[in-house]
A and B are shown apart, each in its own frame.
Chain A
Amino acid sequence: MLLSQLEYFRVVAKHEHISHAAEELRIAQPALSTTIGKLEKELGVPLFNRIGRNIELNDAGRRLLAHTNYLFEQIADMDAALEHTREILENELNISVSNSMFLGNWLHSFVLSNPKIRLRQKMLSESQMLEALKDESIDIAIGEFNSDEPGIVRKVLVEDEYVFSVAETHPLAGKNRVVFDDIRNVDIISLPSNATYKIADRVFAQHGCVPKIIFEGSHRMMSKLELEGKGIVFATKQMIYMMLKVALHQNQLEESEIIKVHTIADMDCRSQLCLCWKEGRELPAMAKKFIEMMDGTYPRYNQDTAFMEQYGVLWNWKGDTE
């Protein structure tokens, strides 16, 4: 017994008329008669009473019709369930960000423009992220990945470097040129980022000392401390940029207040903010969209000169003076 036979049977049962059914099914009448005949033979009982030229569903036929209706209901349910699964899968996005600041003012607009999204953010260290990408428990990782990793695609979002930023009142603010010795013993405020710790440790170790990190925590506290002259912020330009944007957005920064950003003349620590995913993987639709949006609308410090001018943030780094 084939599903197609039952489909034909269902239409014949509806019309109780072979030629009308054949018309609906767009098949030849004799072929349809044969199909029904075969079905009756297989089931061993007639399904229709033949009265002259008319046919009429009999008791056995009604029983088969009940089964047939149920079967096709279930197939329709299966199709709906598959469609539902597709919708869920296509809208699922699992990401991990080394520092939530990197998505600060941006992520919510992505969520707003994709109302069906099912976004999950996993808190992982950079090395865990690479593992999670490989076993596909996350789709996308965002962080400072400064070297290539086999099996991972690394798309550089921002070419960046570590700098210092200080409030205008801080003694270092007035200097035109800052060298490492100027910051050797200064209190440092840092983002809670493994990549930042590693880089700070490495840079200071090169000068035979350890960084004096007095605070690591939320950007909200950081900008407050910085403004009160409690220390300098050690971070990438992108981090500082995002931090300021968030601070402005939350009305924590007066437009008149000025942050000065310095590069250290004799220090070179570049960093790349990257978007990573698994090589060769067919990414879920939402992940592709996310990458596309990151590429297009992600705010980058080096593309937002209007921001600096508007808020009087003085950027004093190598690239600007050259």
Chain B
Amino acid sequence: MNLLQLEYFQEVAKVSSITQAAKVLDISQSALSIMMNKLEAEIGYPLFEKQGRNIVITPYGKTVLHYSYILLHEMEDIQREFRELRGEENEWKLTLGVTDSNYYGDWILNLMNDYPDLQLNVLQMSREEIYENLLLGKLDFGISNGMEYYEQLDSQLLFSQPYQLLVLKDHPMAKKGSITMEEMVQEPVLSLPPSHKNRLIDNLSAAMHFRPNIVFEGNADIMEQMFHVGIGSILTCAHNRGQWMRGPREDYALLDIVGTSARYEMYLVWSKNRYRTRCARMFQDYVFDYYHV
């Protein structure tokens, strides 16, 4: 097994066709075929199956594909670490997976200003996808609401705050400053669409076993517009409320949700096995500094 084989194998698996993959990789089809046959022979299991004119990856192929990412990223890690050992610089480039794409915190803007050479690639995904991609080496960091234990992952809680309901100041409950779970069931709320993974409203309703009265589901811009004309309120927490506000804080009220201990928790997550470049260490320090952790 060599690493070039694995790289080519990834491409073949991606497009499910030797012909297509050969085009992308710019090598001859027969050379690629021979290479894949050799890889199969070395691994000792069939990696692809012919199905009509196409090829389909086998369960064995899927296993090899999974590990190919780990192995290739580990090789890349060796190069990164030795580049720094030689006193050279790695690319200032980080790939982040975030559960809440609407939440960046001010620090991301500050970070980009402080490090103009930094290339940030921010991808929205579910918690599970963050874990998976960190383990495969496809992400440098994850910023995740909630964290499960994984042996190969490390994490740091950035903040933990109770869920709160953001309302306009003329909302009937604004003066009271709180809302009960019974009232929460009736309260019209706005939310991101269900396709958005790890929605706050789902987290809270799962924790409290209630069915929320969602009057609108859609993207953040429209949510914000609807919110300001009083169509519904928005579940958030103190840290994140800023993204929904247009005017000064006095125009809004944050209601405590009585009777729930569910909290909004944000974690920075990374793989224990990956080499952290100077850029990654800077990023980590920057985030920790910002959150005073």
Q: Which residues of A (34-60) have their CB < 8 Å from a CB of B?
A: 43-45, 60
Q: Give chain A residues whose Cβ lies under 8 Å from the Cβ of B45.
A: 82, 85-86
Q: Give chain A residues whose Cβ lies under 8 Å from the Cβ of B63.
A: 78, 81-82, 85
Q: Residues 1-33 of chain B: 1 if any A CB is under 8 Å from the residue's CB, otherwise 0?
A: 111000000000000000000000000000000
Q: Which residues of B (56-83) have their CB < 8 Å from a CB of A?
A: 59-60, 63-64, 66-67, 70-71, 74-75, 77-79, 81-82
Q: Give chain A residues whose Cβ lies under 8 Å from the Cβ of B64.
A: 78, 82
Given A44-B82, A45-B86, A67-B77: A2 and B2 within 8 A (CB)?
yes
Q: Give chain B residues whose Cβ lies under 8 Å from the Cβ of A75.
A: 1, 67, 71
Select which of B43, B78, B273, B275 is within 8 A of A82 by beta carbon: B43
Contact B82 A60 (CB under 8 A): yes
Given A44-B82, A60-B82, A70-B74: A3 and B67 within 8 A (CB)?
no
Q: Give chain B residues whose Cβ lies under 8 Å from the Cβ of A89.
A: 59
Q: Is A74 an interface residue (CB 8 A)?
A: yes
Q: Which residues of A (54-112) have their CB < 8 Å from a CB of B?
A: 60, 63-64, 67, 70-71, 74-75, 77-78, 81-82, 85-86, 88-89
Contact A70 B273 (CB under 8 A): yes
Q: How far is the CA of A74 from the CA of B3 in the complex (A)?
A: 14
Contact A77 B78 (CB under 8 A): no
Q: Which residues of A (243-288) have their CB < 8 Å from a CB of B?
A: none
Q: Which residues of B (126-180) have their CB < 8 Å from a CB of A?
A: none
Q: Give chain B residues whose Cβ lies under 8 Å from the Cβ of A64.
A: 78, 82
Q: Is A31 an interface residue (CB 8 A)?
A: no
Q: How far is the CA of A267 from the CA of B64 in the complex (A)?
A: 60
CB distance from A26 to the nearest CB of B (A): 20
Given A74-B71, A74-B74, A89-B59: A3 and B81 within 8 A (CB)?
no
Q: Is A1 an interface residue (CB 8 A)?
A: yes
Q: Give chain B residues whose Cβ lies under 8 Å from the Cβ of A88.
A: 59
Interface residues on A, range: 20 to 34
Q: How far is the CA of A314 from the CA of B159 in the complex (A)?
A: 82
Contact A44 B86 (CB under 8 A): yes
Select which of B60, B70, B81, B86 is within 8 A of A74 by beta carbon: B70
Q: Main SS of the interface on chain B?
A: helix
CB distance from B74 to the nearest CB of A (A): 5
* Residue of B with least CB distance to A78: B67
* Residue of A with least CB distance to B78: A67
CB distance from A313 to the nearest CB of B (A): 48
Q: Which residues of A (12-48) have their CB < 8 Å from a CB of B?
A: 43-45
CB distance from B75 to the nearest CB of A (A): 7
Q: Is B34 an interface residue (CB 8 A)?
A: no
Contact A43 B67 (CB under 8 A): no
Contact B2 A1 (CB under 8 A): no
Q: How far is the CA of A45 from the CA of B84 in the complex (A)?
A: 11
Q: How far is the CA of A43 from the CA of B44 in the complex (A)?
A: 32
Q: Is B85 an interface residue (CB 8 A)?
A: yes
CB distance from B152 to the nearest CB of A (A): 10
Contact A45 B82 (CB under 8 A): yes
Q: Residues 86-110 of chain B: 1 if any A CB is under 8 Å from the residue's CB, otherwise 0?
A: 1000000000000000000000000
Q: Residues 190-223 of chain A: 1 if any B CB is under 8 Å from the residue's CB, otherwise 0?
A: 0000000000000000000000000000000000
Q: Give chain A residues whose Cβ lies under 8 Å from the Cβ of B75.
A: 1, 71
CB distance from A200 to the nearest CB of B (A): 40
Select which of A63, A67, A70, A85 is within 8 A of B59 by beta carbon: A85
Contact B67 A1 (CB under 8 A): no
Q: How far is the CA of A81 from the CA of B273 in the complex (A)?
A: 19
CB distance from B3 to the nearest CB of A (A): 7
Q: How far is the CA of A75 from the CA of B3 in the complex (A)?
A: 12
CB distance from B76 to the nearest CB of A (A): 10
* Residue of B with least CB distance to A74: B70
CB distance from B276 to the nearest CB of A (A): 13
Q: Which of A78, A88, A89 has the most CB of B within 10 A?
A: A78
Q: Give chain A residues whose Cβ lies under 8 Å from the Cβ of B71.
A: 71, 74-75
Q: Give chain A residues whose Cβ lies under 8 Å from the Cβ of B86.
A: 44-45
22 A-B pairs within 8 Å (CB atoms) are namely: A1-B78, A1-B79, A43-B78, A43-B82, A43-B85, A45-B86, A60-B85, A63-B81, A64-B82, A67-B74, A67-B77, A67-B78, A70-B74, A70-B273, A82-B60, A82-B63, A82-B64, A85-B59, A85-B60, A85-B63, A86-B45, A89-B59
- B interface residues with partner A (beta carbon < 8 Å): 1-3, 43-45, 59-60, 63-64, 66-67, 70-71, 74-75, 77-79, 81-82, 85-86, 273, 275
- A interface residues with partner B (beta carbon < 8 Å): 1-3, 43-45, 60, 63-64, 67, 70-71, 74-75, 77-78, 81-82, 85-86, 88-89
Apart from A3-B1, A74-B74: 4 A-B pairs, beta carbons within 8 A: A1-B3, A43-B82, A74-B71, A88-B59
